[in-house]
């Protein structure tokens, strides 16, 4: 594509210091781009409790910086078994996870705070600007001026909106309003906990249609749990104590160790959230502004792809900015590659989310675990080298 490998931008403002924004900052800085992260929170708080990373996301991260993946593997848990159970405790199915053998990277679970800490530690601290809530931007042919609440403006060559599902950057750029409620409420918690029924390197899904609860080893003696339930309205339960008592009422009849785990979780750290997504977009980039991660393609969390696809976005954006002939071409390559792929992943996540709460959800989940379909191959065989060669 270009003889030289001088990036097409010098200075980039990444709005949002979530896992997508941090990974992208690492990727851009590796290419010699002066990327800064602007995060509205006063500190990088642990969000979401725990999560799983899939082979495609780990391959993208490895292409950004192999030492990060090594650290994640040390800190998290490489999942070896997925177990499906009825809420009575009866085991429906136990499946060995063979992602490492098939795709060259495992299914890795980790505490959110640990993932965020490892990503942040790979960046110079002075480029992460906390307490910076972006409120607007103005762009012209040569630059973008970014405005923050009560802070000085900054002028950059490119703005990356990595500010999550309620992205202010997306609103200014596209203006498609509020996200869509998918008819399910979720609760998440994390605690150090051991129990004879909890195995290391295992994730268990308990089905109590129209409810599910997931228990996942995330390493270092921590268990992450995530409960989801069909709810007509997305109303919140009120105080932390009210949230916990609603959970105990809804999930207290599940087999051990679910009630014990909920009871042992500090009410203050339980996160209650509606499950939301948005319609896919046909374009993410306009002029000198683009989108990434949940700001670009928020999806139902049903196949655990939110973080992994954000890592793919960050890696690819850095490659195109480093190797395309100009910014317009770089963003055209980015939109061209990312939109189609993430639309397919969004659609599959949406379908999996709906099917997992229908009357025959047990059969559906069993079939999903048994069959290794084309979609999984396509998703997990993500090849960062092939992306890099597109820009040669």
Ligand X SMILES: Cc1cc2nc3c(=O)[nH]c(=O)nc-3n(C[C@H](O)[C@H](O)[C@H](O)COP(=O)(O)OP(=O)(O)OC[C@H]3O[C@@H](n4cnc5c(N)ncnc54)[C@H](O)[C@@H]3O)c2cc1C
* Binding positions for ligand X, rule: CB under 6 A: 15-21, 38-41, 48, 51-52, 132-134, 162-164, 168, 186, 188, 226, 273, 293-295, 301, 304-308, 310
**Phi then psi dihedrals of residue 262, to 5 deg:** -65, -45
Other beta carbons within 10 angstroms of residue 150's beta carbon come to 8
State the sign of the Cα–Cα–Cα–Cα dihedral 293, 295, 297, 298. Answer: positive
Nearer to ligand X, 39 or 157 (CB): 39
Smallest distance from ligand X to CB 206, Å: 16
Nearer to ligand X, 33 or 53 (CB): 53
Nearer to ligand X, 52 or 337 (CB): 52
Smallest distance from ligand X to CB 5, Å: 27
Smallest distance from ligand X to CB 313, Å: 8
Smallest distance from ligand X to CB 213, Å: 12
Nearer to ligand X, 162 or 330 (CB): 162
Question: Residue 299: left (phi > 0), alpha (psi -120 to 50), or beta?
Answer: beta
Nearer to ligand X, 292 or 387 (CB): 292
Nearer to ligand X, 17 or 106 (CB): 17
How far apart CA 187 and CA 273 sit, in angstroms, is 6
Query: What is the side-by-side strand order in the sheet with 144-148?
Result: 134-139, 144-148, 154-156
Nearer to ligand X, 7 or 301 (CB): 301
Nearer to ligand X, 208 or 345 (CB): 345
Smallest distance from ligand X to CB 161, Å: 9
Helix 19-30 vs helix 306-323: angle between axes, to the nearest 10 degrees? 20
Nearer to ligand X, 55 or 293 (CB): 293
Scan for tokens 């997925």, then name that residue: 82
Smallest distance from ligand X to CB 55, Å: 12
Smallest distance from ligand X to CB 306, Å: 2
Token pair recorded at residue 358: 């229908």
Smallest distance from ligand X to CB 338, Å: 13
Please check whether residue 146 is in contact with residue 13, taking contact to mean a CB–CB distance below 8 angstroms: yes
Question: Residue 131: left (phi > 0), alpha (psi -120 to 50), or beta?
Answer: left
How far apart CA 369 and CA 95 sit, in angstroms, is 7
Nearer to ligand X, 8 or 218 (CB): 218
Smallest distance from ligand X to CB 40, Å: 4
Smallest distance from ligand X to CB 109, Å: 8
Scan for tokens 């792929």, then name that residue: 341
How far apart CA 273 and CA 287 sit, in angstroms, is 34
């Amino acid at each position: 594509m270009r003889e030289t490998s001088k990036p097409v931008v010098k200075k980039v403002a990444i709005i949002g210091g979530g896992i997508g924004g941090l990974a992208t900052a690492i990727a851009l800085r590796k290419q010699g781009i002066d990327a800064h992260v602007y995060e509205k929170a006063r500190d990088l708080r642990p969000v979401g409790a725990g999560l799983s990373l899939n082979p495609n996301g780990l391959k993208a991260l490895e292409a950004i910086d192999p030492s990060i993946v090594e650290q994640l593997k040390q800190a998290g848990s490489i999942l070896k078994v997925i177990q499906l159970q009825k809420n009575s405790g009866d085991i429906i199915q136990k499946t060995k996870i063979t992602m490492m053998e098939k795709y060259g990277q495992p299914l890795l679970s980790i505490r959110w705070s640990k993932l965020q800490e490892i990503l942040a530690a790979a960046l110079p601290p002075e480029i992460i600007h906390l307490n910076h809530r972006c409120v607007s931007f103005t762009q012209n042919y040569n630059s973008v001026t970014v405005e923050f609440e009560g802070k000085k403006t900054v002028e950059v060559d490119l703005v990356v909106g990595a500010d999550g599902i309620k992205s202010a950057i997306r609103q200014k750029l596209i203006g498609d309003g509020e996200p869509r409620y998918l008819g399910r409420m979720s609760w998440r918690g994390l605690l150090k906990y051991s129990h004879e029924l909890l195995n290391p390197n295992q994730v268990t899904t308990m089905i109590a249609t129209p409810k599910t609860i997931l228990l996942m080893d995330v390493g270092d003696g921590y268990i992450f749990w995530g409960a989801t339930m069909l709810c007509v309205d997305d109303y919140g339960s009120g105080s932390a104590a009210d949230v916990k008592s609603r959970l105990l009422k809804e999930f207290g009849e599940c087999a051990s160790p679910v009630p014990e785990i909920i009871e042992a979780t500090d009410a203050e750290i339980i996160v209650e959230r509606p499950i939301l997504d948005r319609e896919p977009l046909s374009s993410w980039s306009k002029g000198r502004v683009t989108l990434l991660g949940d700001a670009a393609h928020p999806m139902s969390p049903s196949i655990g792809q939110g973080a992994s696809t954000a890592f793919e976005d960050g890696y690819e954006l850095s490659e195109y900015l480093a190797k395309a002939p100009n910014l317009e071409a770089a963003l055209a390559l980015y939109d061209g590659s990312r939109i189609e792929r993430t639309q397919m992943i969004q659609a599959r996540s949406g379908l999996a989310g709906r099917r997992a709460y229908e009357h025959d959800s047990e059969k559906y989940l069993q079939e999903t675990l048994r069959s290794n379909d084309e979609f999984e191959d396509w998703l997990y065989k993500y090849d960062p080298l092939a992306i890099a060669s597109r820009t040669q």
